[in-house]
Chains A and B, each alone.
Chain A
Amino acid sequence: MAAQEVAAQPSDTLATLKTESETLKTKLEEERAKLHDVELHQVAEKIEALGQFVMKTRRTLKGHGNKVLCMDWCKDKRRIVSSSQDGKVIVWDAFTTNKEHAVTMPCTWVMACAYAPSGCAVACGGLDNKCSVYPLSLDKNENLAAKKKSVAMHTNYLSACCFTNSDMQILTSSGDGTCALWDVESGQMLQSFHGHAADVLCLDLAPSETGNTFVSGGCDKKACVWDMRTGQCVQSFETHESDINSVRYYPSGDAFASGSDDATCRLYDLRADREVAIYSKESIIFGASSVDFSLSGRLLFGGYNDYTINVWDVLKGTRVSILFGHENRVSTLRVSPDGTAFCSGSWDHTLRIWA
């Protein structure tokens, strides 16, 4: 804290500081507007429209005893890990629908889970304020909880977790308003990220070769881009009208999408430093809980609290499809690593694979 303080000027009053910060914020918006020479829909005019889509549920994974809260794909493109409110974390081969591993967490409400890049471990956590890593075993009878490693410790619930490029580091976000990077082996905190004014609900790692940034979204309606090396917030966007439930990078890493309780999804361009599209409809009233892009970035899939999944044309801003099937809120949605399908998890206790 001491390193961040600016030398106090006796003549500064609270009022002058407040005015100065407001003036600067206006200046920032002016600077952003100066380079805004074209709208996304104008650029989209030259591109041909998409055809009709036939997306169906190809698999329904049943086995959780309560609301499914989170899921993640394995790099092998067919296995997934899912976590639910009953404290169970299950690893499935989604192709055959076989359950391969199951862990019972000591706490219920496992709100976050992630598959390690090697495919040899899973991480999960939730209301226990921790993120734990469980190495998976080929022995079906082995009790996975025995080898559990407690990695992250927050002062409030764990909302999201994600491995970096290796099994050795985990990025977490929490209801305590911070994100943190942890060394798995030692449980040491390598970096912490402060800047959100309320619970951080989601995060996503940038898919670039440099792999040094990530984006987070929170209940303060802000989406922040962070430098993993320095812990600094390098860009932030505050255009949503309610909590941001989900953030996901565009495949090139130059933009990201967000889904919010204000029933809209938005696209933010990082190089132009502005929001460039809003995906919304009068008839969509309930919040978006989870978003992800298709492989080329042309489609944006959004899971909503009204039990549906809307598929958006990222360029044209129109909805190309609406998918029904879940019998309760869609809480989590991820596209598979090779883009052949996406998986949605819901409060109706099931997961569905769509293609």
Chain B
Amino acid sequence: MTIRSDRDHGQRYRPRMSCLKKVEAIVVQMQDPSTGVKGADQKLNVTTIPHAITGQVIIAWIAKNMNMDSDEAQAFGTMLVAFGYIYPLQDHKKLVLKPDGSLYRFQTPYFWPVQKWKAEDTDYGFQSYLSIYLAKRNIRKKGVLDAYEQKKTYDYYRRIIIYTQQAVMRSRVKSSVSLGALVKYMTTFKNHDPFLVPCLPSNPWQTDNDSYWELNMTDVEVPTKMRVERWSFSFYELLNDPRGRADFKVFLKKEFSGENLAFWEAAEELKWGTAASMSEKAEHIFKTFLAPGAPRWINIDGRTMGLTVKGLEHPHRYVLDAAQTHIFMLMKKDTFYRYLKSPVYKEIQKKAISPEPHNFSDSQLQQNMRNRRPSISPIITWQKEQEEKAKAAAAAGPIDIKKLMASKLDRK
């Protein structure tokens, strides 16, 4: 049965499936007697099948009329079969459009997807269900809302008003500035994007050789040149890479200013840690970094110090935010740039390696595929890291004179 118009054949259908309306318009076009797909009686062995069309003819029509190449046309055609606008006469189980002589037929609109669905109120999620429920109740009461519901709508609009007022007053940046920043980021990282520039020595997924990951491990002695270059892009990149952070710590040790980074790390642990450990951590941080005469006293302005210390009386997750931001900005604007000019960084730049690109032959690639190496479980790596951290903390902690004397007395 041919269709001449796409007038809404269903009663209601789900707005989420509005894409089907576009599809239906196309299916109607496909059945146009003059410009549509040329159907005919198809010969299959000795029988003649009426009103059937082959897959390749459908794909050709879609490619021409929808301005696509044949791969895309085949994919779109598969959608038509998947949704039931076209059905296969031969292989019923797999709902795909085959680019060959396989036979298909147009489905009558009675069986189009939209016909079956009755949109239920719960289809749209709980909130919408509630509003539909209220609307229905509203209609029953002939449009008169009771006092509670009136208050609800007042609050709804007041909330929007407050929010929009704040939004209007928010500071914005000119498009040229912010878009310029996006472009700058893309350009800076272009050579580091494996999809744009091949990573060296080779992409493990493409060659089945995991040297790239081996060379870029967290605790590697000598990093690659690309990795060291990336540390110079921003302070965030340096800190985010554990190897970079370690190198930065070497620099800080030489300058005897390791306390800033140590404080920042401790504050991060507080912010992202478990709720139960918070007050204990806050106290430790106060004793180590903020108290007058503390062993690793950090240098922040009086006002911030005052606010932080006061906040620590009733510690919460974000109590160190002001101090942490201050210290972070200090490191970002001053220490970071000095690091980049320092002998420590220059040395690591010199030491850094630049691996040669792999050039595997086909047989080597086959071999690689058979010998894909497994890696250490992240659980083991994590356990090791925790042990290292504990050792480092014990070594760096301030010496407790009382304990030291007590242990000496014990021995006597």
Within 8 Å of chain A (Cβ to Cβ): is B179? yes
B373 to chain A: closest CB distance in Å?
8
Chain B neighbourhood of A190, CB < 8 A: 275, 317
Residue of A nearest to B193 (CB): A296
Instruction: Return the contact of A183 from the options B75, B172, B206, B274 (Cβ within 8 A).
Output: B274
Given the contacts A12-B154, A21-B160, A120-B378, A294 and B176 also touching, CB distance less than 8 Å: no
Is A120 a contact of B205 with CB atoms below 8 Å? no
- 16 additional contacts (CB under 8 A) given A96-B373, A156-B126, A262-B18: A4-B155, A27-B168, A47-B183, A78-B210, A118-B382, A138-B377, A138-B380, A155-B126, A165-B272, A235-B170, A243-B16, A272-B173, A272-B177, A273-B170, A283-B68, A296-B192
| B residues 320-337 touching A (CB-CB < 8 Å) | 321, 325, 328
Is A315 a contact of B186 with CB atoms below 8 Å? yes
Q: How many A-B residue pairs have CB under 8 A?
A: 288
| A residues 59-104 touching B (CB-CB < 8 Å) | 59, 74-79, 93, 95-96, 98, 100
Give 21 CB contacts A-B under 8 Å: A17-B157, A28-B167, A37-B176, A47-B187, A58-B206, A74-B378, A78-B210, A78-B375, A93-B375, A119-B378, A119-B379, A197-B127, A209-B235, A251-B189, A261-B16, A262-B18, A294-B193, A339-B193, A340-B199, A340-B203, A340-B204
Within 8 Å of chain A (Cβ to Cβ): is B213? yes
Within 8 Å of chain A (Cβ to Cβ): is B222? no
| A residues 162-191 touching B (CB-CB < 8 Å) | 164-166, 168-169, 175-177, 183-186, 188, 190
Produce 1/0 per residue, B178-211, CB < 8 A to A.
Answer: 1111110111111011111001000111100010
Chain A neighbourhood of B182, CB < 8 A: 250, 252, 254-255, 269, 297
Within 8 Å of chain B (Cβ to Cβ): is A248? no
Within 8 Å of chain A (Cβ to Cβ): is B297? no
B289 to chain A: closest CB distance in Å?
19
Within 8 Å of chain A (Cβ to Cβ): is B389? no
Interface residues of A, Cβ cutoff 8 Å to B:
4-6, 8, 12, 14, 17-18, 20-21, 24-25, 27-28, 31-32, 35-40, 43-44, 47, 50, 53, 55, 58-59, 74-79, 93, 95-96, 98, 100, 118-120, 136-138, 155-156, 164-166, 168-169, 175-177, 183-186, 188, 190, 196-199, 208-210, 219-220, 229, 233-236, 242-243, 250-252, 254-255, 261-263, 269-274, 276, 282-283, 285-287, 294-299, 306-308, 314-315, 322, 324, 327, 338-341, 353, 355
Is B127 a contact of A32 with CB atoms below 8 Å? no
Is B168 a contact of A24 with CB atoms below 8 Å? yes
Chain B neighbourhood of A243, CB < 8 A: 16
Is A176 a contact of B126 with CB atoms below 8 Å? yes
A21 to chain B: closest CB distance in Å?
5
Is B72 a contact of A322 with CB atoms below 8 Å? yes
Is B194 a contact of A338 with CB atoms below 8 Å? yes
Is B199 a contact of A283 with CB atoms below 8 Å? no
Is A43 a contact of B183 with CB atoms below 8 Å? yes
Within 8 Å of chain A (Cβ to Cβ): is B23? yes
Within 8 Å of chain A (Cβ to Cβ): is B366? no
Within 8 Å of chain A (Cβ to Cβ): is B372? yes
A224 to B157, CA, bound (A): 18
Given the contacts A12-B154, A47-B183, A263-B19, A271 and B178 also touching, CB distance less than 8 Å: yes
Is B194 a contact of A295 with CB atoms below 8 Å? yes
Is A308 a contact of B75 with CB atoms below 8 Å? yes
Chain B neighbourhood of A137, CB < 8 A: 379
The 4 closest A-B pairs by CB, nearest first: A119-B378, A296-B193, A296-B189, A355-B205
A76 to B379, CA, bound (A): 11
A283 to B19, CA, bound (A): 11
Given the contacts A198-B128, A269-B179, A315-B186, A119 and B272 also touching, CB distance less than 8 Å: no
A327 to B75, CA, bound (A): 10
Instruction: Return the contact of B79 from the options A76, A77, A306 (Cβ within 8 A).
Output: A306
Within 8 Å of chain A (Cβ to Cβ): is B239? yes
A27 to B133, CA, bound (A): 33
Is B164 a contact of A21 with CB atoms below 8 Å? yes
Which of B161, B175, B189, B236 has the most chain A CB atoms inside 10 A of its CB? B175
B380 to chain A: closest CB distance in Å?
7
Residue of B nearest to A276 (CB): B179
